[in-house]
Chains A and B, each alone.
Chain A
Amino acid sequence: MFVANKIIFLIVLLGVCFSWVGCESQEKTSTGMDLGVINPQRDFTLHDQDGKIFHLKDHRGEVILLFFGYTSCPDVCPTTLSKLARVYSLLGMGTRQKLLTLFVTIDPQRDTPQKLKEYLQYFNINAVGLSGTKQEIDKVVDAYKAMYEKVDTNSSALGYMFDHTDYLYLIDKEGKTSYLFHPEDKAQDMAQIIKGL
């Protein structure tokens, strides 16, 4: 009887240990995905909405939110940018001024610098639209392991659209991607994490 109890105790103990290890290997918070220190700096160069060359490495000391989208995007992009407007509103002036949103277009054919500028100004956030040749943009997309695919919609009046990833990359002041925010993450939780950087 005593031996049986001991075996049961050991099984329960092992179960607790395994579940603990399982919890530890998951994300550190309920918001976004903490990428920790495994991510190197992924510098890139593109053209901004004023036609000037934009180097990410020139923005060390600023917190960056990076998003890949396009201005004709009917659902994901405006929803994300509207949420970012709420995130900005939750931050103090100091943090807000040091938070730069980069909107990299995956549709350079339609998204002219002027269009990008007007689009982003509308959302009233500190944002810069970035573009380049398809090859230049693809290089950045690949570096951040994002994805997109052009979809021709013959049956729709929309013309072509894009399937694309909808993450927001949070790049810290040292240029390292420290968090990956998902669409379900709440503005308040995102603001909290940004304040902590």
Chain B
Amino acid sequence: MKTKNLCCFIFIFFVSFLSYARADGLSKDIFISNAWVQAMPSSQKISAAYMVITNNSPKEAILVSASSDIAATAEIHQMSEMNGMMNMAMAANVHVPAQGKVTLQPGGFHIMLINLKKPLNKGDIIPITLHFQDGSNITVNADVRGQ
């Protein structure tokens, strides 16, 4: 029983670690958590990635782009309500305030994964690299969630 509990603990710890990443370089104080990608039918060539970016440094961090091996293109987009409709537009960057955080979530900022190279199935782990203005990069493993 104890062995079973220990195995469960190790598994949960490992899964948590997969969706959690820490930066190298100048953005050592930036942490990414709860990174996930919307699972989509195999016919769909796009999806969106969401996460929480926490900046523990005394300086603002600016996310300027993203990339992933899973998609030909990754773009930062933002949803907003405009004239009673939901509008999606490319965003040049995402400002993460000093000692603050920004949540990329449905209906707000997200990373569009365009021209997917393979279907995204629930449970898959997708690496996404975030590029910040100071030249630092963070690679996060996002889990694919959905039906």
Contact = CB atoms under 8 A, between A and B. Distances in A.
- The number of chain B residues touching the other chain, given as a range, is 20 to 34
Interface stretch (B14-22, B36-44, B57-65): B36-44
B147 A75 contact: no
A163 B114 CA distance: 18
B7 interface: no
A75 B72 contact: no
B43 A165 contact: no
B46 interface: yes
Given A75-B48, A158-B112, A122 B40 contact: yes
Given A156-B75, A157-B114, A165 B41 contact: no
A119 B85 CA distance: 23
Interface in B83-115: 83-90, 106-107, 110, 112, 114-115
Contact of B41 (A119, A151, A163): A119
B146 interface: yes
- The number of chain A residues touching the other chain, given as a range, is 20 to 34
A119 B43 contact: yes
A160 B96 CA distance: 29
Contacts of B87: 151, 163
Given A75-B88, A151-B87, A156-B75, A123 B43 contact: no
Interface string B44-88: 101110000000000000000000000011010101001111111
A118 B46 contact: no
Interface in A110-164: 115, 118-119, 121-124, 147-149, 151, 153, 155-158, 161, 163-164
Interface of A: 71-72, 74-76, 78-79, 82, 85, 115, 118-119, 121-124, 147-149, 151, 153, 155-158, 161, 163-166, 183
Interface of B: 38, 40-44, 46-48, 72-73, 75, 77, 79, 82-90, 106-107, 110, 112, 114-115, 146-147
23 contacts: A75-B77, A75-B79, A76-B107, A78-B38, A78-B40, A82-B146, A115-B43, A118-B42, A119-B41, A121-B41, A122-B40, A124-B147, A147-B84, A147-B85, A156-B90, A157-B73, A157-B75, A157-B114, A157-B115, A158-B75, A158-B114, A163-B86, A165-B85
